[in-house]
Structure 1
Amino acid sequence: MESLSGLTAFVRAVELGSFVGAAQRLRVSPSAIGKSVARLEESLGVRLLNRSTRHLSLTEAGELFYARGRRVVQELEEAQTELLAQREAPQGRLRISSPALGYRMLVPILPEFTRRYPRIELDLDFSDRMVDVIAERMDAVIRSGDVVDSRLKARTLGSFRLVLVGAPAYFAEHGTPGTPEQLRNHACLFYRFHSSGQVQPWTFEGREGLPALELPGTLTFNNIEALIGAAISGLGIAYLPDFAVGQYLRDGQLQSILDDRLMAGGTFSLLWPGSRQPLPKLRAFVDFLAEHLVLGP
């Protein structure tokens, strides 16, 4: 414990530039900080700081020790924060970002969440742009696809399939495609990804190794809600996640085609910064979504 006290005093003195600043942060006297650092230097057998009346600077050994010591102090503080938080009920503001379509997944289960955790204040951002979890200080984000950011921890929430859908009136007027190739004679409604600007490709089982189908892009959208609305309005055929159109398939506003040729899909995951342990409010949200979120048509 003496070594940890000296390490904390040393790290804070370097961060704040003086023993006085470290003393104010740790609520002890400047002389106590100086003595703790001196004892640490004595135990290590090296000088860590060059001292003057107005300035502290790191020695070569001090630079090496500070780089490692800072991480130790940070881990210790986070562990203490987590232990203290565990004694309290989950509470506080929770900032969550989700794809724009995410409200279809979340809104139906939010009443149960707010009933179970009345002290958690949810701040929900529904947007198709790629949110930087750490830079924008989000507590967590919901994303589809593979997790490629090594700074983040992840928990899989569920999987979905992609389906081709159109309005019954559209198929009554233009006919129903029986093969992927027949889609060339139909109005195709495409989705453009915000992050890359690329149009989402339509993939079909049994066409591996064949050239991609060149389909007529009648309309292209960067918003899935608009794409769904266009399909319901009879403007053409759209390629959409099954959970997003399940209600419209059930009530007859849309019908699916070529189901036996479509195998593409994906997963949704909840991601949060991996540099720290999740606080109880985030852990409660993660566990709740994993338990209650239902995808599929």
Structure 2
Amino acid sequence: MARIEINRSGEMDVFVRVVELGGFSPAARAARMTPSAVSKLIARLESRLGARLLNRSTRQLQLTPEGCAFYERATRLLADLEDAERAASAGEQPVGRVRVNTSASYANHILAPVLPAFLSRHPGVTLDIVQTDAVVDLLAERTDVAIRAGPLKNSSLVARKLGETALMIVAAPSYLDRCGEPHSIADLERHNRLGFGYARAVDGWPLSENGATAIVPATGRVQASDGEGLRHLALSGVGIARLAAFTVRDDIAAGRLVPVLAHLDAGEKEAFHAIHIGQGGPLPSRIRALLDFLAENGRVC
């Protein structure tokens, strides 16, 4: 019996296109195939693997758990194959796009100042930077690297620590002139405590007074979706905010913000990590180049 040749990399490429483009028709256009041919290819792939990869409906396709796992491995293998081909012709220089998801605070205060050095060191790499404080699904958002603050949940993600920073309560001189400076936890009751518009690991401000630590809720009249938003509100004199120290040091040095209640600081620090999909498997050189650069130049303190 003749042996049936299977183009596994071709199947993976079509499957990844279906997932990332959201359907058989756009994937067919991108791969220069017919939608029927793409549908049959996915059906053959599922039959060979003995697992359903996609749940199909009239409106959308949805990855099954097996499909998620296969997509993760397929994208990594295709990236490795692309890297191998480029290495053979380009002296192993990292090439390609890296999609980065990070908070606006980290992007503005840590990442932006060092980006020229990274781009100069790796001229073949392009970056697509998305700024949000919301925790995203790396697979669903097609994110290569996410930079996140706070404790990490157990998952299939791999993390590289980028340091940690103190958290400081600050206010603009104009606000303190208008509303007075608080000196105790009780004093905070009459102040506009600016907070985040989403749940956080510690939903409030830990403060130590008279040997006890209390969590003071940030229940002011204004909330924001990210730390940079809160910083600008504080700079405008809207209220008091608790922010990462690296984001407000220059403002404090310039007198634009003033530390408040430093004597009640509970000593909490917030860790930052660069995270990516995969447990110890090989990384595309473009992603590895960014992670190595951040470990050296993108640390917070």
Establish whether TM, by shorter chain, passes 0.5.
yes
Q: Which runs of 5+ in 1 are unaligned?
A: 1-9, 11-18, 27-54
Counterpart residue identity of residue 234, structure 1: G
Task: Go from structure 1 to structure 2 and tell me whether the alpha carbon gap of 1:90 and 1:220 turns closer, same or farther (over 3 Å shift).
Answer: same
Could you tell me how far apart the structure 2 residues matched to 1:192 and 1:123 are?
A: 25
Q: Which deviations, in whole Å up to 9, do the C-alpha atoms of 1:220-274 show, x marking residues without a partner?
A: 2223223212211112211111111122111111000122322222111001111
Counterpart residue identity of residue 159, structure 2: A
Could you tell me how far apart the structure 2 residues matched to 1:237 and 1:79 are?
A: 49
Task: Go from structure 1 to structure 2 and tell me whether the alpha carbon gap of 1:78 and 1:235 turns closer, same or farther (over 3 Å shift).
Answer: closer
Q: Which of 108, 113, 117 does residue 108 from structure 1 map onto?
A: 113
Pairing 1:260–2:263 present: yes
**What is the aligned partner in structure 1 of residue 246 from structure 2?**
243
Alignment of 1:1-297 (within 5 A): 19-22=4-7, 88-104=92-108, 105-193=110-198, 196=199, 200-206=203-209, 212-213=215-216, 217-262=220-265, 263-275=267-279, 276-296=281-301
Task: Go from structure 1 to structure 2 and tell me whether the alpha carbon gap of 1:285 and 1:172 turns closer, same or farther (over 3 Å shift).
Answer: same
Q: CA deviation at 1:129?
A: 2.4
Task: Go from structure 1 to structure 2 and tell me whether the alpha carbon gap of 1:250 and 1:77 turns closer, same or farther (over 3 Å shift).
Answer: closer
Contact 2:86 2:95 in 1 (8 A): no
Query: How big is the alpha-carbon RMSD for the aligned residues of Structure 1 and Structure 2?
Result: 3.7
Kindly name which structure, 1 or 2, has the bigger radius of gyration based on alpha carbons.
Answer: 1
Counterpart residue identity of residue 100, structure 2: I
TM-score, scaled to structure 1:
0.69
Contact 1:190 1:200 in 2 (8 A): no
Q: CA deviation at 1:20?
A: 4.8
Could you tell me how far apart the structure 1 residues matched to 2:192 and 2:293 are?
A: 41
Could you tell me how far apart the structure 1 residues matched to 2:260 and 2:203 are?
A: 18
Q: Which deviations, in whole Å up to 9, do the C-alpha atoms of 1:132-167 show, x marking residues without a partner?
A: 112222111111122214211110001011111011
Task: Go from structure 1 to structure 2 and tell me whether the alpha carbon gap of 1:209 and 1:89 turns closer, same or farther (over 3 Å shift).
Answer: same
Could you tell me how far apart the structure 1 residues matched to 2:191 and 2:171 are?
A: 11
Secondary structure at the aligned position of 2:174 is classed as helix
Task: Go from structure 1 to structure 2 and tell me whether the alpha carbon gap of 1:208 and 1:131 turns closer, same or farther (over 3 Å shift).
Answer: farther
**What is the aligned partner in structure 2 of residue 6 from structure 1?**
none
Q: CA deviation at 1:294?
A: 4.0
Could you tell me how far apart the structure 2 residues matched to 1:293 and 1:56 are?
A: 42
Q: Which deviations, in whole Å up to 9, do the C-alpha atoms of 1:171-226 show, x marking residues without a partner?
A: 22322211222111222212222xx4899411112478666446652322223223
Q: How many residues align?
A: 242
Could you tell me how far apart the structure 2 residues matched to 1:152 and 1:166 are?
A: 37
Contact 1:85 1:280 in 2 (8 A): no
Could you tell me how far apart the structure 1 residues matched to 2:174 and 2:81 are?
A: 62
Q: Answer with 84-93 or 285-294: which moved more.
A: 84-93
Q: Which deviations, in whole Å up to 9, do the C-alpha atoms of 1:16-38 show, x marking residues without a partner?
A: xxx25459969xxxxxxxxxxxx
